[in-house]
A and B are shown apart, each in its own frame.
Chain A
Amino acid sequence: MLDAQVNGMPNTSRGGPLQGVRVLELTKVWAGPYAGKLLAFLGAEVIKVESNSNLDEMRAYGGVDINHAPYFLSINSEILSVQINMKTAEGLQLFRDMVAKSDIVINNIRPGAMERSGLGYEQLREIKRDIIAVSIKMFGNDGPLGHQTGYAPCFAALGGLNSLAGYEGGPPLGVNHRYGDSTVGAQAAYAAIVALMHRQRTGEGQFVDVSAVEGMSSMVGDSLFEQGLTGKSAVPDGNAHADMAPHGCYPCRDGTWLSIAVASDPEWHALCEGLDRADLAKDSRFMTRAQRYEHRSGLDEQLSELTKEQDVDALANHLRALGVAAFKSQSSVNLIGDQYLWGRDFFRFVSDNKEGARPILGAPWRMSKASASISRGAPDLGEHNAYVYREILGLSDEKLQELIGNRIVD
């Protein structure tokens, strides 16, 4: 009775744990679309509602062809696209008709915009009693600062995350400013599926109100907790780690960097041996983990002297063979040539309407039984109009043509 499949199966069977689940998206830019991507990669049928008059900005970034914009193509594999002009009464009604046939509705549009269109949670619930409505906003759906808006680095600043990243004694510098949207999208996807599980067991839908700012706070939850517990101020701490020393990135030849993390005395001795400085292990400043942590600044300087003329890949291999956790800090060019990622099919190809095939970043999980196929690239605007209007909503071809003619489907 509660099975998503009563809504009608999608026209292609991709498998995956969420096969048969239908998700409707009013999402833009990155956080919302990323949530949709994860659900699609798990097998859900994810339908993005768009229109020429209200495009996802990602279709405009980095190009003039809205069907071939690199940003959009990079996030929207296995997403279906349907056009609706939501500024018309008839368009809004079509959207409501789609809600009635969906399990989850996700939006990350401006605070208040859903409610103004008559699509707040209570109204969605009137359309479909057990709908799961997911709202992703910078600071949550309401509250004293709920009206504030911003981009990912703003979430990270407000959430307390960016004030922790920087060099010791210096100002906050933050994690790279691309960080944030996708993490929040993943958190929203998790909450959405928890809600789906609850509906499966009880028949009850619900409203999931995601705060991107709190999403960032949760990524440093232990630090926020620690300050409250101990009174020790959480400030930029470079690469310091209270339980590991050395713990940091050390320069190698040609501007490269090697990350090294030493968790125990035997690992420390192995590192000294690997750097041909067994004597360092006997240095009275560096005997125990606590001493190494206390003298980390001098320790890092000394290690940097030993690494800076070395080849990063050779040194990484050499240290790892001795049991030391040592990995190159990969640049973008290292990353796209990473043979391990290509070998695991993490980098993989999907169809592309223009060029035939496009490499994308696939799913970061492997499932032994219920894997969803990931083969279709991002959709052209309205690529799935016929499927949605005719097969899901049951409209005739004539009606669809009329909607196109009236620019309701636009």
Chain B
Amino acid sequence: MTALRGFRVVEIAEGVAGEYCGKLLADFGAELIKVERPGTGSPTRSMAPIVGSDAGPENSGLFAYLNTNKKSVVLDLASKAGLDTLHKLIATADVVIDDHDEDWLKNVGLTPAQAEHDHPSVIFCSITPFGHGAPAAWRNAKSINVFNASGWGYHSPTAADPSKPPLKGAGRFMADYEGAIDAALCIVSSLYWRTHSNQGQFVDISQMEVLVSRADCVVGRMITGEAEANDLRTAYDMGGPHGFFRCADGFVYLMVTNRKHWLGLCKLMGNPEWSKSFDENWLEFGATLEKVVEFRKHFAAWLLAAKKDEVSETAQRLDVPLVPVNNATDVQRSPQFVFREYFQRVTHPVLGEALYPTVPYKMSATPVKITSPAPLLGAHTATILDNRQAVGGAKAHA
């Protein structure tokens, strides 16, 4: 069996953070019931990329990606009947995932206090930009805002040009995805705890704090004064000749830190004359800006004729951490991704067949598999709500 089969999760979230968290649980076989509003369904059904000329609820590539292995139930939470049904559904659930703000939770009767009172054995997880208790005016923050509030934006890219704006990160949703990982971790930990405590609980995830935590060994030295906190865009950067280099067919990334790396690099380049002016231990003890600049100049010139995969593989055999900068096509073709079956071919009834990224962990006993494409809006309303066994039926027991 898959690891979370038998657990029922009700996803009332309507954003990327909550939907990704739900996906992480659905990957492992949890029964994931997505509650959607009538008509348009989840707002992510309207988000890019919209494929095809028909801009209906089934045309979003984003929704298709985030909602594999889920069921869709349409409920009008603006009506009393809809709310009653939601609470009946939650009474059959093990987990509830949300990513609305606190006022929304109040309106549907699921503040932390209400949730614990009405559904004491359910694990509730709320993912919000700044956690519960944040000022009301902060609650509509988007991923780019949280990424910038957390310090990652200001310090991206590395060696930032202070005249150019901080970056949102890679893709559109870094704050959402990062928050979702810790949310899923807390949910499954809470389910484990419930097996011996028989209690549910309310988990409050702050996306901002998750992102700041991801820099613990940088910011953690700044709050002690061991490293200088300042207003430099480069305050997170490590010194040394790390970085992107152009080659014949794209870019490579080099990060070298010690004597072994340097000797390997020299060998890789055929021990050029200029390399002899560098001390064998310069990366550890003599990486001055001047040396770094000189190295980068020579190395960049040498690399121009190289092919990214070939030179990287040769370098790796010499213990040099040089890698190709892969684009999406490279990633899909990479023999290592193919070997690990990271992408899975899935057919969506409207969008057709495509390669879906799966998960970065191969599990020997409970492998992840996409068993169904993202649900059509309301596809499971009847079976879930009309089936007495589904609502009011037995819960999963560990």
- Contact residues of A with B, CB < 8 Å? 3, 16-19, 21, 30, 34, 37-38, 42, 58, 62, 70-71, 73-75, 121, 139-140, 143-151, 153-154, 156-167, 171-179, 182-184, 186-191, 193-198, 200-202, 204-215, 217-230, 232-235, 238-239, 241-244, 247-251, 255, 257, 259-261, 263, 320-321, 323, 325-336, 340-341, 344, 346-347, 358-361, 363-370
Extra contacts, 5 of them, besides A173-B157, A198-B4, A257-B165 (Cβ < 8 A), are A149-B321, A191-B363, A220-B171, A259-B168, A370-B199
Cross-chain pairs A/B with CB under 8 angstroms, 30 sampled: A17-B189, A17-B193, A58-B217, A74-B216, A144-B339, A162-B244, A167-B164, A171-B251, A174-B157, A174-B244, A177-B158, A177-B237, A205-B365, A210-B361, A211-B336, A214-B337, A214-B342, A217-B357, A218-B177, A221-B177, A225-B64, A225-B356, A229-B49, A238-B165, A239-B144, A242-B48, A259-B168, A328-B148, A361-B212, A361-B220
A190 in contact with B185 (CB, 8 Å): yes
Q: Given contacts A163-B327, A241-B172, is CB(A332)–CB(B188) below 8 Å?
A: no
Interchain CA distance A228-B328 in the complex, whole Å: 8
Closest residue of chain B to A152 (Cβ to Cβ) is B255
B336 in contact with A329 (CB, 8 Å): no
A175 in contact with B169 (CB, 8 Å): yes
Min Cβ gap B173→A in Å is 7
For window 162-192 of chain B, which residues contact chain A by CB distance below 8 Å?
162, 164-174, 177-178, 181-186, 188-192
Min Cβ gap B370→A in Å is 12
A190 in contact with B188 (CB, 8 Å): yes
Interchain CA distance A5-B221 in the complex, whole Å: 35
Interchain CA distance A186-B209 in the complex, whole Å: 14
Interchain CA distance A167-B324 in the complex, whole Å: 20
Our pick among B199, B219, B242, B252 for the contact of A336 (Cβ within 8 Å) is B219
Min Cβ gap A215→B in Å is 4
Min Cβ gap A164→B in Å is 4
Interchain CA distance A50-B189 in the complex, whole Å: 27
Min Cβ gap B212→A in Å is 6
A190 in contact with B331 (CB, 8 Å): no
Q: Given contacts A139-B336, A330-B149, A340-B134, is CB(A176)–CB(B363) below 8 Å?
A: no
Contacts of B185 in A (CB 8 A): 38, 42, 186, 189-190, 193
Contacts of B182 in A (CB 8 A): 38, 186, 364-365
Q: Is B267 an interface residue (CB 8 A)?
A: no
Q: Which of B32-40, B71-79, B200-208, B292-300 contacts A (4 or more CB under 8 A)?
A: B200-208
B192 in contact with A197 (CB, 8 Å): yes
Min Cβ gap A64→B in Å is 13
Contacts of B201 in A (CB 8 A): 367-370
Interchain CA distance A174-B47 in the complex, whole Å: 25
One digit per residue, 1 when the CB lies within 8 angstroms of any chain A CB and 0 when it does not, for chain B 148-163 equals 1111111111100010
Interchain CA distance A104-B213 in the complex, whole Å: 23
Interchain CA distance A365-B183 in the complex, whole Å: 8
Closest residue of chain A to B367 (Cβ to Cβ) is A206
Task: Decide if the interface of chain B is mainly helix, strand, loop or mixed.
Answer: mixed
A359 in contact with B62 (CB, 8 Å): no
Q: Given contacts A175-B170, A225-B354, is CB(A194)–CB(B3) below 8 Å?
A: yes
Closest residue of chain B to A247 (Cβ to Cβ) is B144
Min Cβ gap B371→A in Å is 17
A333 in contact with B231 (CB, 8 Å): yes
Interchain CA distance A4-B368 in the complex, whole Å: 25
Q: Given contacts A3-B196, A219-B177, is CB(A150)–CB(B321) below 8 Å?
A: yes
A217 in contact with B229 (CB, 8 Å): no
A325 in contact with B145 (CB, 8 Å): yes
Min Cβ gap A45→B in Å is 14
A234 in contact with B328 (CB, 8 Å): yes
Q: Given contacts A206-B365, A325-B141, is CB(A176)–CB(B158) below 8 Å?
A: yes
One digit per residue, 1 when the CB lies within 8 angstroms of any chain A CB and 0 when it does not, for chain B 328-341 equals 11111011110110
Interchain CA distance A164-B327 in the complex, whole Å: 8
B316 in contact with A359 (CB, 8 Å): no
Q: Is B222 an interface residue (CB 8 A)?
A: yes
Q: Is B270 an interface residue (CB 8 A)?
A: no
Contacts of A220 in B (CB 8 A): 170-171
Name the residue in B189, B224, B362 with the highest tally of chain A Cβ atoms < 10 Å from its Cβ. B189
One digit per residue, 1 when the CB lies within 8 angstroms of any chain A CB and 0 when it does not, for chain B 304-320 equals 00000000100010010
Our pick among B46, B61, B170, B216 for the contact of A161 (Cβ within 8 Å) is B170
A177 in contact with B205 (CB, 8 Å): no
Contacts of A37 in B (CB 8 A): 216
Contacts of A140 in B (CB 8 A): 336, 340, 362
Interchain CA distance A250-B166 in the complex, whole Å: 9
A151 in contact with B321 (CB, 8 Å): yes
Name the residue in B155, B158, B230, B362 with the highest tally of chain A Cβ atoms < 10 Å from its Cβ. B362
Interchain CA distance A174-B174 in the complex, whole Å: 13
Interchain CA distance A369-B208 in the complex, whole Å: 22
A332 in contact with B150 (CB, 8 Å): no
Contacts of A177 in B (CB 8 A): 158, 237-238, 242-243, 255
Min Cβ gap B364→A in Å is 4
B230 in contact with A332 (CB, 8 Å): yes
| Minimum-distance CB pairs A-B, first 7 | A74-B220, A364-B209, A173-B157, A17-B193, A242-B48, A214-B360, A206-B365
Q: Given contacts A208-B361, A233-B327, A360-B220, is CB(A326)–CB(B212) below 8 Å?
A: no
Min Cβ gap B274→A in Å is 25
Interchain CA distance A153-B108 in the complex, whole Å: 43
Interchain CA distance A364-B212 in the complex, whole Å: 9
Q: Given contacts A157-B253, A330-B149, is CB(A341)–CB(B209) below 8 Å?
A: yes
Q: Is B389 an interface residue (CB 8 A)?
A: no
Contacts of B141 in A (CB 8 A): 261, 325, 327
Interchain CA distance A212-B321 in the complex, whole Å: 14
Interchain CA distance A297-B88 in the complex, whole Å: 49
For window 78-105 of chain B, which residues contact chain A by CB distance below 8 Å?
none
Name the residue in A166, A171, A224 with the highest tally of chain B Cβ atoms < 10 Å from its Cβ. A224
Q: Is B1 an interface residue (CB 8 A)?
A: yes
B154 in contact with A331 (CB, 8 Å): yes
Our pick among A176, A218, A243 for the contact of B152 (Cβ within 8 Å) is A176
Contacts of B351 in A (CB 8 A): 229
Q: Is B394 an interface residue (CB 8 A)?
A: no
Contacts of A210 in B (CB 8 A): 360-361
Min Cβ gap A103→B in Å is 11
Q: Given contacts A182-B213, A234-B328, A331-B235, is CB(A191)–CB(B361) below 8 Å?
A: yes
Interchain CA distance A102-B284 in the complex, whole Å: 38
